[in-house]
């Protein structure tokens, strides 16, 4: 798959000003300016974030109303239901708020909607459960901001809602007693990009302050907050960066028993990073909802007995193994469908439907098709009871939600974001949807959107790659959106003669820049088709990130190669 390389713009004046105060390598100042770090104080907060940098939770609109309603429920001995979505953000948020509140109050339960029987967010079944079991207060986490009709029904039945959500509100809001969402147009809270669990953390922080509890009381849950930030792909800026930094510290020094159990199952020895949370912890948590019941994830997070936590973690681990087997099989079937139908191979979009595919992994399969095989907006559909349900994923710069919105006359329901969306439709409309979606994409997508983009932070000379440079680069962690791992460009490299193919798929690089500069080793996964550029004896350019390699007790810097040309 050919890729286009885009080098970010530089701001030399800003870089020079920052370098004069920090006295570090100019290229590190370039990376900081690109991340909106312009001053010594901003750099201090970036490299040494403290919990004191967090904003006062009482600044959030309706926080006073939320706390007053919870306190009233305590006073009246009302039944409280903590309600949240089945994904990582939802389950971590529910575990955080439920576990904190149950230490203060007994008459409290939690509810996670079933992915297949109820779907995303506040559900009619959830409202029925609250009515039938005499709950008069529901705290909805990571959902609820769009559930106007259902929350109106609940209000009519005498059930109050506190909504803690981070999704973009519509002009009309549900009739909740309090809505905690910094994205409300009139919310004065300074940071707008918290995860759902992050808002739950703010809620318990306010309760702790109100009740005169130790300031550190909510910090027991920082590893859950960091997991939600990693999995929900929110910006790694401001408060998210502070919470992720200290959440990782807790993960590595004093994790909750459930997090520790998942780490041990994966035989994780070195300190965990955000990347480990994304690729080790999050898939196992998500697998609970994808393959069965997400309540298992909450049970894991609130379990204090290490043996019981280990047992639940083993079930999630097995669910994730099953999920991987299923999504691998479906991906192979999807690729075969495209390869065996020339009309599909030449389209600007991919829309595939098979009734037997597992609903829990269609989004993963859509992402995998884009990443590995066909870089274009993709929808994977499957049978769900008497309807067809599916997930859409997009490519850089293309609004897949808007494209699906233009097909709304063929859909029963839909929702989502710029890069990901879900929908349901009747089986008889599948073919028409395939044709309409392709027509919309073909009309609106540009040619360069169909070519994967590598965004490069800066050009870097091999002579600048030193242990001192890398030691500061490591402190850019935690990494995430708006603070991604820096990608470098090195020009005019030559093979030293020792580069080779590994397992006929990967390239093990040994390269030099110029005749006298340092030699670096690197690894390029699944790049075998470009090996002819390496051993052609001609110079080539390389896009890469920097990494450490440990071998026989020796640690050295290596290049993690993304592309060459």
Contacts 24+ apart (CB under 8 A), 170-174: 170/145, 170/146, 172/148, 173/145, 173/148, 174/144, 174/145, 174/146, 174/147, 174/148
Q: 445 and 510 share a domain? A: no
195/235 same-domain check: yes
In contact, 467 and 491? CB cutoff 8 Å: no
Helix, coil or strand: residue 148: helix
Residue 17 lies in a domain: no
Task: Let me know if residue 498 belongs to a domain.
Answer: yes
pLDDT at residue 549, rounded to an integer:
86
Q: Is pLDDT of 64 > 80?
A: yes
Indicate whether 162 belongs to any domain.
yes
Q: Average pLDDT in the 420-447 region? A: 95
pLDDT-derived band at 18, boundaries 50, 70, 90: very high
Same domain, 389 and 432: yes
pLDDT tens per residue across span 254-275: 999 999 999 888 877 778 889 8
**List of long-range contacts for 10-18, beta carbons under 8 Å, 24+ apart:** 10/458, 14/38, 18/43
Average pLDDT over residues 312-338: 92
Residue 496, domain CATH: 2.40.50.460
Domain membership flag for residue 25: no
Check residue 119 and give its pLDDT.
76
pTM (2 d.p.): 0.91
Same domain, 458 and 446: no
d(CA 293, CA 186): 37
pLDDT given at position 346: 85
Position 535 pLDDT exceeds 80: yes
Identify the domain containing residue 445 by its residue range: 341-450
Highest mean pLDDT out of 284-288, 319-323, 540-544: 540-544
User: Looking at the domain assignment, is residue 197 inside a domain?
Assistant: yes
Beta strands in 203-262 (DSSP E): none
Q: Report how far apart the first and last C-alpha atoms of the chain are (Å, whole number).
A: 12
Q: Which tens digit of pLDDT belongs to each residue from 188-217?
A: 999 999 999 999 999 999 999 999 999 899
**Is a pLDDT exceeding 80 seen at residue 416?**
no
Q: Are residues 266 and 284 in the same domain?
A: yes
Which residue, 409, 431, 450, sits at the end of a domain?
450
Residues 92 and 187 grouped into a single domain: yes
Name the nearest CA neighbour of 180 among 138, 128, 142: 142
CATH number, domain at 223? 3.90.1640.30
């Amino acid at each position: 798959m050919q890729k286009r390389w885009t080098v970010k713009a530089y701001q030399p004046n800003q870089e020079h000003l920052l370098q004069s105060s920090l006295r570090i390598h100019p290229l590190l100042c370039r990376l900081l300016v690109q991340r909106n770090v312009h001053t010594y104080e901003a750099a201090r907060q970036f490299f040494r974030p403290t919990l004191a940098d967090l904003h006062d939770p009482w600044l959030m609109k309706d926080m006073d109303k939320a706390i007053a309603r919870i306190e009233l429920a305590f006073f009246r001995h009302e039944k409280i239901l903590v309600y949240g979505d089945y994904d990582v953000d939802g389950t971590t948020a529910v575990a955080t708020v439920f576990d904190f509140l149950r230490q203060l109050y007994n008459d409290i339960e939690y509810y996670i909607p079933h992915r297949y029987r109820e779907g995303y967010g506040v559900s009619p079944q959830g409202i029925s459960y609250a009515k039938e079991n005499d709950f008069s207060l529901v705290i909805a986490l990571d959902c609820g901001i769009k559930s106007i009709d259902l929350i109106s029904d609940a209000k009519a039945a005498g059930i109050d809602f506190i909504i803690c959500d981070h999704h973009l509100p519509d002009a009309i809001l549900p009739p909740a007693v309090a809505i905690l969402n910094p994205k409300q147009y009139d919310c004065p809270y300074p940071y707008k990009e918290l995860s759902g669990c992050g808002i739950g953390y703010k809620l318990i922080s306010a309760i702790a302050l109100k009740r005169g509890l130790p300031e550190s009381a909510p910090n027991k849950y920082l590893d859950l907050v960091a997991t939600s930030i990693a999995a929900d792909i929110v910006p790694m800026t401001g408060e998210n960066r502070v919470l992720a930094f200290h959440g990782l510290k807790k993960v590595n020094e004093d994790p909750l028993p459930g997090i520790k159990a998942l780490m041990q199952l994966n035989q994780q020895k070195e300190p965990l990073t955000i990347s480990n949370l994304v690729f080790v912890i999050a898939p196992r948590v998500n697998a609970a909802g994808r393959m069965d019941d997400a309540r298992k994830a909450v049970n894991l997070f609130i379990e204090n007995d290490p043996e019981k936590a280990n047992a639940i973690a083993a079930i999630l681990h097995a669910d994730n193994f099953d999920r991987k087997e299923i999504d691998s099989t479906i991906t192979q079937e999807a690729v075969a469908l495209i390869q065996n139908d020339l009309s599909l191979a030449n389209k600007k979009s991919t829309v595939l439907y098979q009734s037997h595919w597992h609903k829990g992994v269609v989004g993963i399969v859509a992402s995998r098709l884009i990443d590995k095989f066909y870089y274009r907006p993709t929808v994977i559909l499957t049978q769900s009871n008497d309807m067809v349900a599916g997930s859409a994923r997009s490519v850089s710069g293309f609004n897949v939600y808007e494209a699906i919105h233009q097909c709304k006359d063929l859909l029963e329901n839909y929702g989502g974001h710029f890069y990901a969306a879900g929908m349901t439709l009747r089986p008889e409309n599948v073919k028409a949807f395939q044709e309409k979606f392709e027509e919309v994409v073909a009309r609106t997508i540009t040619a360069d959107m169909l070519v994967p983009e590598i965004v490069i932070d800066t050009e870097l000379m091999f002579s600048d790659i030193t242990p001192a440079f890398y030691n500061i680069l490591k402190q850019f962690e935690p990494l995430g959106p708006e603070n991604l791992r820096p990608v470098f460009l090195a020009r005019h490299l030559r093979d030293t003669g020792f580069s080779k193919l590994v397992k006929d798929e990967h390239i093990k690089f040994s390269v030099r820049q110029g005749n006298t500069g340092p030699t670096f080793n690197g690894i390029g996964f699944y790049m075998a088709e470009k090996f002819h550029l390496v051993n052609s004896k001609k110079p080539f350019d390389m896009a890469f990130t920097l990494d450490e390699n440990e071998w026989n007790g020796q640690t050295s810097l290596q290049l993690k190669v993304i592309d060459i040309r």
